[in-house]
Amino acid sequence: MTDLHLNLDLRRGDFRLQLNTALAGQGVTAVFGPSGCGKTTLLRCIAGLEQGGEIRLGDEIWSSARQSLPAHRRPLALVFQDAGLLRHLNVQGNLDYGVKRAGKRGLTPLPAKQARQVLELLDLLPLLQRPVQRLSGGEQQRVALARALLINPRLLLLDEPLSALDSARKQEVLPYLRRLHQVYQGPILYVSHALEEVVQLADQLLVLEKGTLKDQGRLADVLARLSLGDETGVVLEGTVVAQEADGLARLALTADGTAAGSAELLLSAPQALVGDHLRARVLARDVSISLSRADDSSILNILPVRVESLSQSGVSVLLNLRLPDGELLRARLTQRSVTQLGLQAGMSVWAQVKSVALAG
Ligand SMILES: Nc1ncnc2c1ncn2[C@@H]1O[C@H](COP(=O)(O)OP(=O)(O)OP(=O)(O)O)[C@@H](O)[C@H]1O
């Protein structure tokens, strides 16, 4: 595994990006934070479009006080919100153009068999002869992704690749991004300010605030630490074990993201396939508690939990709950409900989650 080491310090007007960290050499690391926190500047530094510090991928120095590999020589691929396709060429022409330039970056493009797998995964085989002006926004982004993957980059940088798409197109492209690991094993850096995207795609999360590192780590851990007010919640991960006839997917939770646990969730994830790894964000405000298992309720997800802690949060109480295999769940209740049920740390209760409240 080849980690990406960053030690950056640069100023742009009043803004200063100051960061000393390492990013995982595989999986998706999302760079997350409010507008203006420095996400794009960070990506541009790594891509060589801005200078300001040390960048090293494993033993390979891309930038230091003494030297800097020019942007067009760095062995990486970039996908921006604008697919940036060449308008006068068809899809095949755009892909060929990217492949031809891979050598400049010191990269060897994917061999034919793997290249075909990329095109299959992105459903591009039927579109190869199509002029790019006749592609939808979502299709254009799939071509941009293929063009990036075919050069077999050592690092893939995605800067808000969905933000120019409307929400229907976003939902269309997201499943493709979720499956990228089937054809690309290198590290992916994914810049976004959309939490729903980050939750679905990222393994690791790097949070920036005013140009500095606020937090970094496993997605579920960092999200649990972030204070998100009304959006406070947890991320549960699992494998889709069934797509049921009524459109609900059955997700078998994996306790630490790897080992299979015992709990299951039903959620609406129409695009997901059996075997897909999915994450569901469960907001604390969408979880209610009962002392006994209610079998006459419309709520489909009823999970046994242990109350770990209670903390006053504004006018409500935030409960940290543990599922039998150790996953964290949170519930936000009124003080009146907490008093009525006599809820205390250590109690075993039932957590109820409406399946519509789960965004896959
Ligand atoms: N060339 C520049 N000159 C002056 N200020 C700059 C320059 N480039 C970026 N900035 C400032 O640096 C800050 C970080 O910008 P950046 O685009 O990296 O943020 P971001 O987190 O990607 O924001 P967004 O989510 O809105 O894209 C902003 O305040 C921006 O105005």
Distance of CA 52 to the CA centre of its chain: 27
Evaluate: CB of 322 within 6 angstroms of ligand 1.
Answer: no
161 contacts 144 by C-beta, under 8 angstroms: yes
From the list 143, 202, 193, 152, the residue with the least C-alpha distance to 173 is: 143
State the pLDDT at residue 356: 64
* 268 Ramachandran zone, left/alpha/beta (phi>0; psi -120 to 50): beta
Helix (H, G, I), strand (E, B) or coil at 209: strand
Ligand 1 center to residue 38 CA distance, Å?
Answer: 6
From the list 270, 264, 284, 275, the residue with the least C-alpha distance to 325 is: 264
Evaluate: CB of 34 within 6 angstroms of ligand 1.
Answer: no
State the pLDDT at residue 261: 67
State the pLDDT at residue 195: 85
The 8-class DSSP code of residue 151 comes to T
Rounded Cα–Cα distance for residues 220 and 163 (Å): 23
**Helix 91-100 / helix 137-150 crossing angle, nearest 10 deg:** 30
Longest CA span, the chain? 70
Evaluate: CB of 52 within 6 angstroms of ligand 1.
Answer: no
Sign of CA dihedral 152, 156, 158, 162: positive
53-57/4-12 β-pairing: antiparallel
State the pLDDT at residue 259: 61
Closest atom of ligand 1 relative to the 193 alpha carbon: 25
State the pLDDT at residue 235: 87
Ligand 1 center to residue 37 CA distance, Å?
Answer: 7
The two tokens of residue 359 are 């965004």
Ligand 1 center to residue 318 CA distance, Å?
Answer: 35
Evaluate: CB of 37 within 6 angstroms of ligand 1.
Answer: yes
Residue nearest to atom 18 of ligand 1 (CA): 38
Evaluate: CB of 38 within 6 angstroms of ligand 1.
Answer: yes
43 contacts 25 by C-beta, under 8 angstroms: no
The 8-class DSSP code of residue 149 comes to H
Evaluate: CB of 229 within 6 angstroms of ligand 1.
Answer: no
Residue nearest to atom 27 of ligand 1 (CA): 35
15-23/187-192 β-pairing: unpaired
State the pLDDT at residue 313: 78
Evaluate: CB of 15 within 6 angstroms of ligand 1.
Answer: yes
Mutate to test the pocket of ligand 1, among 17, 37, 158 (most ligand atoms within 8 A of CB): 37
State the pLDDT at residue 143: 96
Spell out the per-residue pLDDT of the chain, length 360, in tens.
679 999 999 999 999 999 999 998 889 999 999 899 999 999 999 999 999 899 999 999 999 988 999 999 999 999 988 878 999 999 999 999 999 989 999 999 999 999 999 999 999 999 999 999 999 999 999 999 999 999 999 999 999 988 888 888 888 888 889 888 889 999 999 999 888 889 889 999 999 999 999 999 999 889 888 877 777 888 888 889 999 888 888 999 886 656 666 788 998 887 788 888 888 889 999 999 999 998 888 888 999 999 999 999 778 999 999 999 888 999 999 999 999 999 999 999 999 998 766 654
